[in-house]
Amino acid sequence: MGGTGVLLLLLLAGVGVGVAWRPPKGKCPLRCSCSKDSALCEGSPDLPVNFSPTLLSLSLVRTGVAQLKAGSFLRTPSLHLLLFTSNTFSVIEDDAFAGLSHLQYLFIEDNEIGSISKNALRGLRSLTHLCVPPPPHAPRRHLALQPSETQGTLAAGDGPFSSSTRSLANNHLEALPRFLFRGLETLTHVDLRGNPFQCDCRVLWLLQWMPTVNASVGTGACGGPAALAHMQLRHLDPKTFKCRAIELSWFQTVGESALGVEPFSYQGEPHVVLAQPFAGRCLVLSWDYSLQRFRPEEELSAPSVVSCKPLALGPSLFVLAARLWGGSQLWARPGPGLRLAPTQALAPRRLLRPNDAELLWLDGQPCFVVADASKAGSTTLLCRDGPGFYPRQSLHAWHRDTDAEALELDGRPHLLLASASQRPVLFHWFGGRFERRTDIPEAEDVYATRHFQAGGDVFLCLTRYIGDSMVMRWDGSMFRLLQRLPSRGAHVFQPLLVTKDQLAILGSDFAFSQVFRLEPDKGLLEPLQELGPPALVAPRAFAHVTMAGRHFLFAACFKGPTQIYQHHEIDLSA
């Protein structure tokens, strides 16, 4: 600070003025000493009032104020400097400094403040100094009245602008509310040293704010947690803080039990179709904008249905209904405003006991693959030909397949079949048909497989009813074991990408279902949340649906109604 600036500060404080000014009677409260533009109060049991409205500098020392309430200084609108030192108040409320639009210097040092409201500094648009840090090794001195000052004069020397003055320093603050300094663009100095800040997510906003301002900021060292105690805040890396959490909360229950749930988009609107075997139908759901709920839109009669697989092609909509008895069917809707109607019986001599159906695109054409669990049947690839879908290839006969998973590896279509009789087998598309490529070692008794991509890698979730379910990663020639997760009574291990979180849910018929999240740093799934009874009972499939900027998770349950959860993001730094 230049010499002219120091002189100006001294003049504002009334320091060095030879003749003390006697204000009009009643304008200098008890236990205060006043000059023309300044006042210093010590030991007052409450906040002094009745100052001159033209007061420029006010210093409060060892007062008995319990908290600074909103509008505490409305009667002194001309203040340029306000100093508190060695007081007992512990809380600063919202708008405590309302009306001080000219205040440039605010010092709050050596008090017992443990809490500051987020809007405590609102309106201080002229504030430049929230601190004046001491030079290295400078002795700390406090502003205090000398004996002669009790007679109404200010002693020259150590005033509120001396190099040892601090603000918000040496209090009991463990955290500061986010956006505390919002609107204070004029700040040039901030001193927060001497506070026992807890260096967890609560300080993240402060670490992110410091590099964005043209102000010198003194923050001191961490008071906790133990791993960071005594570390300087300025040395912390904001990128190491994990301050974003997610939570799935119950939102809605839908009707009957279900074996499958499939989201799809038709005419620009999200829809969901549920396979409900006990109700004997494929139930199509849409979003009710007025009620802000999902509601039934259409029912397709499908007794003993195990999978309802939708396909939208322009104005047309198809639904494959794979059924245990009575034959699988294709339903079609030629255009908007029409109803879905059965149009084709699908491979009645091949699909004897379907267990799963998947959609895939081969050579630019849509196809379905239906996994058949009958010993006499075979998994069948059906591709579009004219108005319907017809068998293109029989796969894996006699192996009682329980699940099919379409995926892309090395830029080519692949198909993974899980079977009750052998390890999962991987096929690749070659010469217009699927050819066996390899199987997956260390993967016996796998009921189903689901894949996801993250960081350029392809991962596989393998569901096992008894034993450990597994996570594997493609190494360019084979899937290799990455992680084992204990599972009991699991029929589904479903990966889901929700916003930027890669989740995976491991269902259970006998215990809570486990929600995991992929941690990119470790490349492993870490436990996140449990979902369980009485709502979630024997889950068989999960699906993610985005509607009106909100994210929902559908859980089809075999022994209870379908449950819908809403995905919430929680900012732990707020």
Q: Which of 216, 241, 266 is the last residue of a domain?
A: 241
β-pairing, 501-506 vs 81-85, is: unpaired
- What's the rounded Cα separation, in Å, for the pair 252 and 553? 10
pLDDT band at residue 114 under the 50/70/90 scheme: confident
pLDDT band at residue 150 under the 50/70/90 scheme: very low
Assign residue 476 a region (left: φ > 0; alpha: ψ between -120 and 50; beta: otherwise). left
Range of the domain at 499: 242-255+440-574
Comparing 345 with 20, the larger pLDDT belongs to 345
Tell me, yes or no, whether 57 lies in a domain.
yes
pLDDT band at residue 533 under the 50/70/90 scheme: confident
pLDDT(127) > 90: yes
pLDDT band at residue 2 under the 50/70/90 scheme: very low
Q: Which of 194, 214, 241 is the last residue of a domain?
A: 241
Residue entry with tokens 């961490």? 222
**Mind listing the pLDDT tens digit for each residue in 371-403?**
999 888 789 999 999 989 999 999 977 678 999
Residues 170 and 248 reside in one and the same domain = no
Identify the pLDDT of residue 6.
Answer: 32
Tell me, yes or no, whether 187 lies in a domain.
yes
Kindly state the average pLDDT of the residues 502-507: 97
First to last CA, the chain: 35
Please give the share of the chain, as a percent, with pLDDT higher than 90: 67
pLDDT(477) > 90: yes
Return the minimum-mean-pLDDT range out of 104-118, 161-175, 463-477.
Answer: 161-175
In 3D, which of 121, 118, 119, 98 has the Cα closest to residue 108? 121
What's the mean per-residue pLDDT of the chain?
A: 87
Identify the pLDDT of residue 170.
Answer: 75
Identify the pLDDT of residue 25.
Answer: 52
C-alpha 515: how far from chain center? 15
Tell me, yes or no, whether 397 lies in a domain.
no
pLDDT band at residue 166 under the 50/70/90 scheme: very low
Residues 156 and 181 reside in one and the same domain = yes
Enclosing H/E stretch for 514 = strand 513-519
Q: In CATH, what number is assigned to the domain containing residue 472?
A: 2.130.10.10
Kindly state the average pLDDT of the residues 305-315: 97
pLDDT(144) > 70: no
pLDDT(164) > 60: no
Identify the pLDDT of residue 450.
Answer: 98
Residues 200 and 109 reside in one and the same domain = yes
pLDDT band at residue 20 under the 50/70/90 scheme: very low
Residues 186 and 197 reside in one and the same domain = yes
Identify the pLDDT of residue 17.
Answer: 38
Tell me, yes or no, whether 78 lies in a domain.
yes
Identify the pLDDT of residue 161.
Answer: 38
Q: In CATH, what number is assigned to the domain containing residue 190?
A: 3.80.10.10
Return the minimum-mean-pLDDT range out of 127-141, 222-236, 405-419, 461-475.
Answer: 127-141
Kindly state the average pLDDT of the residues 431-447: 93
408-413, long-range: CB < 8 A, 24+ apart: 409/458, 409/474, 410/476, 413/360, 413/361, 413/362
Residues 247 and 195 reside in one and the same domain = no
Tell me, yes or no, whether 219 lies in a domain.
yes
Kindly state the average pLDDT of the residues 524-551: 94
Identify the pLDDT of residue 21.
Answer: 44
pLDDT(175) > 50: yes
Tally of residues, the chain: 574
- Give the count of domains, the chain: 2
Cα angle vertex 155, ends 150, 161, to 5°?
120
Beta bridge partners of 428: 414, 435
Tell me, yes or no, whether 453 lies in a domain.
yes
Tell me, yes or no, whether 315 lies in a domain.
no
